A and B are shown apart, each in its own frame.
Chain A
């Protein structure tokens, strides 16, 4: 069980000529075990920097990140942090270490020095969770993008993490691959794993229980999808509403009366039919 505690975190990086950019400015929030959180914001808002701070790939310039009470800035305990918090990145081709699918998934636990029998058990479990057991002996490079990302998730799962961060993990996938990943993620969350999904797709963010909106390195909103999509925050952050909410807004200007923003297409369609009766 891991609680993430982000307190007063700033992060700056150098761009040469002695100049620095402040990617994150005094960010604070907590994430409880089992939450499904979406992090949204325009390119350059600091989302991906934040992801890398959450498992100690970056160390805050100021403030602290605590994972289950462990400070990510402490070198001696960093592997504890990485075991608890796994990341799946954007490009499925950049994440493989082995040629064969099951070897790739086993890489993490092997490095933990886990006995072979348990590694086999973990690999089986992880491949099953992402629906890839049929492909375990295939060559990674021959898989589709969506299948590669499922293997990447399995690699993280084999570490038995408390938290999985998806850093735009679906952005290079086709719609079918994306849907599959989202349904796997939902199942993992139902099994108790904390999910943090960093995404440009607002229809994905609508699946979360909570959305944090970033703009220029600061948090400008932290609320449920319903509240966020009903407010002016998305506009302020330079983001677009999910399509169902956009359509509802336009219908409101054309004689319809949606009291709150529909999160899903089904909600939108039910309400349209209701209002046409």
Chain B
């Protein structure tokens, strides 16, 4: 079953003013349940406008869309859609506000009108899921934490609403290499234990090549590619059409191929290494 279906979505900011700007043009795609879905595109390509449609933070004006079968244009389903689609925005740690970590994480479930027992259960589970010891951290101020920990607390706040689809906008931006790996591992864990469908918006081609089952690439509000990472990054005009870079491994393979080496298309360093090992082995025989 599809988790999200978007058909012919067009969105224009400041319509009928001198600042009119079409951010999305006739965008259509399907996210299947259980997929890790990547949205890539340069700054200003429409990524943020698009994801804000996915939980109706921006109301759909032109186009059609459903989330887990519910109509994005049906006012009565919007509340449920907002609970079903969890949004982790860029630098979510800037949105922390409460006195204690427990209160911060409880904010979402409280707004859902849940019973106290259920809220407490969810808060504890969410904090533990993001890898923080509940008894140690619950009563502490979120502002005493390190950058990576703050981001975890912010993600816990979304997870506590137990969404079925999780949308993350640049989840690893600004973290050190270890922090980036930790967040990617956390996303995998959340996918297994909470929300099977994950949507990641990113500039980082190396990361998305590794993590995503499916990618759409946006340029000036239009989808220019839609396919698996291997399909998308195999396009020879990928750079011109998206103004993005290839994943490092793909770039290396492309350059080596230009030197006359018969190397298959790759998107991750692991694939590159095994492909090169195969070629080297062949030469040694």
Contacts and interface: CB of A to CB of B under 8 A. Distances in A.
Given A144-B43, A255-B280, A200 B269 contact: no
Given A43-B176, A171-B174, A243 B248 contact: yes
Contact of A273 (B146, B174, B261): B261
B139 to A, nearest CB: 14
A261 to B, nearest CB: 15
B43 A145 contact: yes
A81 to B, nearest CB: 28
B124 to A, nearest CB: 26
B245 A255 contact: no
A42 B43 contact: no
Given A247-B272, A250-B269, A272-B256, A255 B277 contact: yes
Contacts of B91: 172
A244 to B, nearest CB: 8
A200 B148 CA distance: 13
Contacts of A177: 43
A49 B144 CA distance: 16
B178 A238 contact: yes
A247 B276 CA distance: 11
A171 B180 CA distance: 12
A14 interface: no
Nearest to B149: A43
Interface string B263-285: 00000011011101101110110
Contacts of B178: 42-43, 238-240
A273 B259 contact: yes
Contacts of B277: 251, 254-256
B269 A243 contact: yes
A174 B259 CA distance: 30
Contacts of B252: 247, 265, 268-269, 272
Q: Which interface class (under 10, 10 to 19, 20 to 34, 35 or more) fits B?
A: 35 or more
Residue with the greatest number of chain A CB neighbours at <10 A, chosen from B174, B179, B251: B174
Nearest to B281: A255
A178 B277 CA distance: 32
Given A144-B44, A276-B261, A276-B279, A250 B177 contact: no
Interface in B58-111: 91
A200 B248 contact: no
Contact of A171 (B148, B173, B281): B173
A44 B176 CA distance: 10
A275 B280 contact: yes
B237 to A, nearest CB: 18
A204 B228 CA distance: 30
A255 B284 contact: yes
B174 A256 contact: no
Interface in A239-277: 239-240, 243, 246-247, 250-251, 254-256, 265, 268-269, 272-273, 275-276
Contacts of B270: 250
Contacts of A247: 249, 252, 269, 272-273
Interface string B206-250: 100000000000000000000000000000000000011100110
Contacts of B244: 175
A202 interface: yes
Interface string A211-245: 00000000000000000000000000011100100
B276 A272 contact: yes
A175 B243 CA distance: 11
Contact of A175 (B245, B255, B269, B272): B245
B175 A200 contact: yes
A269 B256 contact: yes
Contact of B256 (A42, A174, A243, A273): A273
Contact of A172 (B174, B249, B256, B272): B174
5 contacts: A175-B244, A238-B178, A251-B273, A272-B252, A273-B256
